[in-house]
Amino acid sequence: MKSKKSIIQSAISTLELEAAAIMNVARNINDDFEKVVTSILQCKGRVIVTGIGKSAIIAQKIVATFNSTGTPAIFMHAADAIHGDLGMIQIDDVIICLSKSGNTPEIKVLVPLLKTSGNLLIGMVGELSSFLAEQADLILNTAFEKEACPHNLAPTTSTTAQLALGDALAICLLECREFNEADFAKYHPGGSLGKKLYLKARDLALSNEKPSISPAAPVKDVLIEISKNRLGAVAVVDNGNHILGVITDGDIRRMLENNNTIEHLKAEDIMGRTPKSIQHDALAVDALEIIKQNNITQLLVLEQNTYFGIIHLHDLLNEGIV
């Protein structure tokens, strides 16, 4: 059993080796990298990314990143390619082949078949004297000193270098395409990430009741309206549906603390006159920011200058925005 000190040192050594490998990849960025980016931008088809073993797993991640940032891509397993999957390659596609050594049997079988199709072949490889490097039209250099594995066997440093270079390629393409937050939201509609980019205040307000009351309403009616809608607040509005104020659970508690009798009180007597609000077409994540900054749990939603509805902090929690 290793000591606590040696365990910590092992982790640090691994990370230092992998960080050094990434810096080495950065130093090896050259004209071929620029040509790869330009070729993909000009490509009328998809980017086919292939590999074997651990490189295949990294290839899948690169494909996922490409697809989510505006570069259409497909993963093709190198072993499956020679058993029928070569049929997915179309004439306008660009191919990226990942390999640590560039000399595995599967790669040596696959590469000549890829060359016959006439597609641009990009080799992401760590050995520049390898079969893949010699056959590729362009090279993305992932050369590294040694694996983090103490036996220099398990792909660790090599796959980190591939992953980092794949990210660098994806981000360059993203920037060249001027891929923005709206584009990102289009490709990420699910989960909290997508919701932060497209979910609007109106979407949340429409799922709630729309509690409102007149300024002359007695306190009893206020209590009924707040309890009925279970949002912990009610908007006080005039005849034109313009907001005059808001009454929250907290206002009710303060009213009870400060008054021996409440029969004479009306909504306008206890309402907050400067309620926080947001326009209905604003992002839900902006509503969350207002709620956090003001330490409140409800937020009024407006359509121009009229009352649209209420957002509760729980709505944001339920949508995973928080």
- Annotated binding site for Zn(2+): which residue ranges? 77
* Residue 294: CB atoms within 10 Å: 10
Gap between the Cα atoms of 318 and 62, Å rounded: 31
**Binding-site residue positions:** 77
Q: For residue 81, what is the enclosing H or E element?
A: helix 78-81
Q: Dump the DSSP string for 221-272.
A: HHHHHHHHHTSSEEEEE-TT--EEEEEEHHHHHHHHHH-S--TT-BHHHH-B
Gap between the Cα atoms of 220 and 243, Å rounded: 20
CA distances from 275 to 167, 180, 244 (A): 45, 34, 9
Please state the φ and ψ torsions of residue 228, each to the nearest 5 degrees: -65, -40
